[in-house]
Amino acid sequence: MVKCHKGLARIEKIREINKSKTNWVNKNLYKLLLDRELLITAYESIKSKQGNMTQGVDGKTLDGFSLGVIDNIIAKLDDESFNFSPARRVLIPKANGKTRPLGIAPPVEKVVQKAIEIILTAIYEPSFSTHSHGFRPERGCHTALKEIKDTWTGTVWFVEGDIKSYFDEINHHKLIEILRKRINDERFLNLIWKSLRAGYLVTSEVQTKCKPQMRSSTKGLQFRATSEGTPQGSIISPILANIYLHEFDTKVAEWCMELRQGESKNAPQSKIYRKMVDRTSRLRMKLDGKVKMMRGETRSSVLEELSKLKTEMLNTKSSEDGWVRVKYVRYADDWIVGINGDKKVATEFKRRATKWLADHLDLTLSPEKTQITHAVKGNAKFLGTTICTSKGFLKKRIANGKPTMMRTGVGSIHLKAPMDEVIRKLAEKGFCRMADKRPTAKREWLVHKEWEIVERYNSVLRGILNYYSFAYNRSELQSVHYILKFSLAHTLANRRRTSISKVLKAGKGSPTAYKETKEGTKVIKFEAPSFKVNTKDFKIGIRLDSVAYTYFNKRSRSKLGSHCVICRETEGVVMHHIRHVRKMGEKVKGFNRLMAVLNRKQIPVCPECHHSIHTGKYDGMPLSSFADYALASA
């Protein structure tokens, strides 16, 4: 086990005991929040998140954060005067003309939220369902889809679950009741309750820029209380949402066992299908001369019968009735069930889920969106992917030295990119026309340098291809490449005031730009990736099982409490933060230029140097003026 501070060591111990005893009741958790080292670790975990340089309702960011701020937080937590401020909710425009709410909590309060999340993760992560993939360490969309691909062979019916407005409908009282099953610490639970009831400030204005422009003033904003739902913009919202639906995961596991029928590992063959298999085997033996032909039989008549029998087998149910398996996967509030059995099992599961969620969690399944789909005749949708079961296909093989046709791939799961939806999103983003999918110029990108435009297009292409790396229909994604390639050609042609053909000719068939670097001119070309199908290509990382491994390095590398890197002053040292080290298309100026050279978004400075940075006094300062360059660049 990694050697670490006693506070983190205790959290690791909490994780270990909750892993071995899934019903363990945890006590004295609030005291952990008074541990300076835990709050430093929490700060280190969130300090580089871009949103933490956006002001909350208190007008503050993480710029100027220090050990003094942590000590002030601890004092307020200790006397229980610490309160969460309402999040500032802004409306962000979507490509389809609608808006989505974005909650922005004060960054300093996020340090406390992160500390709470670290504790909750230690308690609940070890016992969460293996079929839950959303908002969990080293899990995601690809682990969820891989589970379906690898273990759902033979699925006949899908049940697609859609919970109405899940994150806005979580019952606060029920959530605290669920937390009390594993947590016996009212001060800790009361702090979570405060975060749930903090409310939010809202404006009817729609944010016109990509990033929310915040003001410290609350003028023109209306306070809205939160009587249900998880807090917008809160770090603890995802894990609270998972804890809430873990109750459903546990119940579904019971149903999967209750609805299960048949003890054999695999579905036994039906008697009718077994007879067909036996008859096929006998006909092949006749053709091989191992069994004598009946009177009147000829080789051609046997071949004809064998061909008809194989066709009939393709349309015959191979498994015996009465064998049922139910599989389940959830990602946040999105879940899907696969059933190898009759439709009545799927109908029963949907009925149970609808009633149980309403009765026990106050949640409603959307009747229109919660669908039962035949796995072979239809397609289910899950995590932006189309899922179906293969009915098999005839494949020529050599058996006993002779060519023969065999049915293969029966019941295997196919994961496909929903091409209509993928191209529709490209149209919404302005890469092509909605009506005829014809590529168009991305005019809002004309302000950027040519090489930046090419990089942006490459980024969009990589994002789509990486997400659908496993797609059975990956070759169809060539249409995405075509749209982006010619959209880029249109864009560069507009910028150069020339024709598309000349743009392509200049790049020898591929839109190309040039970037001047210290090493010379760098050629930036639009990528030409492979579209070879690899249904096993899931982007999955390696999971580290220990809390100590996850957080100790963050604490050990912390610069909080260090001396000023500019003058070595040790009193009142704070952290100077910037939003970006460097951003594509932006020229870095002033002191931020030094931060870009250091490739750091935070450095420890004394109050005097911090003031000098913000007033521009240190603009143009050489790195050689830093009293401790090594610490600044560490």
Q: Residues 381-420: pLDDT tens digits?
A: 999 999 999 876 555 555 555 555 555 546 899 999 999 9
Least trusted range by pLDDT, from 24-28, 406-410, 511-515? 406-410
pLDDT, residue 542, reads 45
First to last CA, the chain: 25
Asked if residues 517 and 492 have their Cβ atoms less than 8 Å apart, the reply is no
Average pLDDT for 12-41: 95
Average pLDDT for 230-237: 86
Asked if residues 133 and 249 have their Cβ atoms less than 8 Å apart, the reply is no
Other CB atoms closer than 10 Å to residue 108's CB: what's the count? Answer: 21
Q: Name every residue whose Cβ is closer than 8 Å to that of residue 534 and which is 6 or more positions away in sequence.
A: 469, 470, 474
Q: Mean pLDDT over all residues of the chain?
A: 85
pLDDT band at 552 (very low <50, low <70, confident <90, very high): very low
Instruction: Give CA–CA dist 394/411, Å, rounded.
Output: 14
Other CB atoms closer than 10 Å to residue 377's CB: what's the count? Answer: 9
- β pairing state of 520-525 and 574-577: unpaired
Mapped onto helix, strand or coil, the DSSP state of residue 602 is strand
Instruction: Give CA–CA dist 258/19, Å, rounded.
Output: 26
The DSSP 8-state label assigned to residue 319 in this structure reads B
pLDDT, residue 141, reads 95
- β partners of residue 27: 184
pLDDT digits (tens, 9 = 90+) for 285-306: 888 888 888 888 888 998 988 8
pLDDT digits (tens, 9 = 90+) for 30-68: 999 999 999 999 998 888 776 666 777 777 778 888 899
CA distances from 135 to 140, 241, 333, 367 (A): 7, 9, 11, 26
pLDDT digits (tens, 9 = 90+) for 72-86: 999 999 999 999 999
pLDDT, residue 436, reads 93
pLDDT, residue 317, reads 66
CA distances from 253 to 281, 326, 349, 524, 599 (A): 41, 9, 12, 51, 48
Q: Which residue has better confidence, 600 or 245?
A: 245
pLDDT, residue 266, reads 64
Instruction: Give CA–CA dist 124/236, Å, rounded.
Output: 13
Asked if residues 62 and 40 have their Cβ atoms less than 8 Å apart, the reply is no
Instruction: Give CA–CA dist 323/262, Å, rounded.
Output: 5
Whether the predicted pLDDT of 510 surpasses 90 = yes
* Residue of 366, 329, 416 lying closest to 134 (CA atoms): 329
Instruction: Give CA–CA dist 575/346, Å, rounded.
Output: 56
pLDDT, residue 94, reads 65
DSSP letters of 547-588? HHHHHHHHHHT--TTPPPTTT---TT-EEEE-S-S--TTPPP
Average pLDDT for 572-599: 65
Asked if residues 293 and 306 have their Cβ atoms less than 8 Å apart, the reply is no
Average pLDDT for 262-286: 77
Q: Name every residue whose Cβ is closer than 8 Å to that of residue 603 and which is 6 or more positions away in sequence.
A: 559, 565, 575, 576, 595, 632
Q: Name every residue whose Cβ is closer than 8 Å to that of residue 248 and which is 6 or more positions away in sequence.
A: 330, 353, 356, 357, 361
Share of the chain above pLDDT 70, in %: 83
pLDDT digits (tens, 9 = 90+) for 443-476: 999 999 999 999 999 999 999 999 999 999 999 9
Whether the predicted pLDDT of 4 surpasses 60 = no
pLDDT digits (tens, 9 = 90+) for 77-120: 999 999 999 988 877 776 666 777 778 888 889 999 999 999 99
Identify the burial level of 161 via C-beta atoms within 10 angstroms of its C-beta, where 0-12 means exposed, 13-18 middle and 19 or more buried. Answer: buried
pLDDT band at 603 (very low <50, low <70, confident <90, very high): confident
φ/ψ (deg, to 5) at 510: -130, 130
Q: Which residue has better confidence, 495 or 617?
A: 495
Q: In what order do the strands lie in the sheet with 99-104?
A: 99-104, 87-93, 200-206, 222-224
Tell me how far the alpha carbon of residue 400 is from its chain's centroid. Answer: 49
Average pLDDT for 577-603: 64
Length of the chain: 634
* Residue of 369, 335, 376, 344 lying closest to 251 (CA atoms): 335
Stretch (H or E) spanning 339 = strand 334-340
**pTM higher than 0.85 for the full model?**
no
pLDDT digits (tens, 9 = 90+) for 609-629: 888 888 888 777 777 778 777
pLDDT, residue 363, reads 97
- β partners of residue 163: 365
Q: Which residue has better confidence, 470 or 267?
A: 470
* Residue of 279, 270, 268 lying closest to 309 (CA atoms): 279
Asked if residues 451 and 524 have their Cβ atoms less than 8 Å apart, the reply is yes
pLDDT, residue 618, reads 78
CA distances from 501 to 298, 345, 377, 505 (A): 65, 58, 44, 6
* Residue of 146, 152, 159 lying closest to 378 (CA atoms): 159
pLDDT, residue 248, reads 98
Whether the predicted pLDDT of 268 surpasses 70 = no
- β partners of residue 435: none
pLDDT digits (tens, 9 = 90+) for 345-387: 999 999 999 999 999 999 999 888 899 999 999 999 999 999 9
* Residue of 511, 604, 515, 494 lying closest to 560 (CA atoms): 604
Asked if residues 560 and 542 have their Cβ atoms less than 8 Å apart, the reply is no
Whether the predicted pLDDT of 188 surpasses 90 = yes
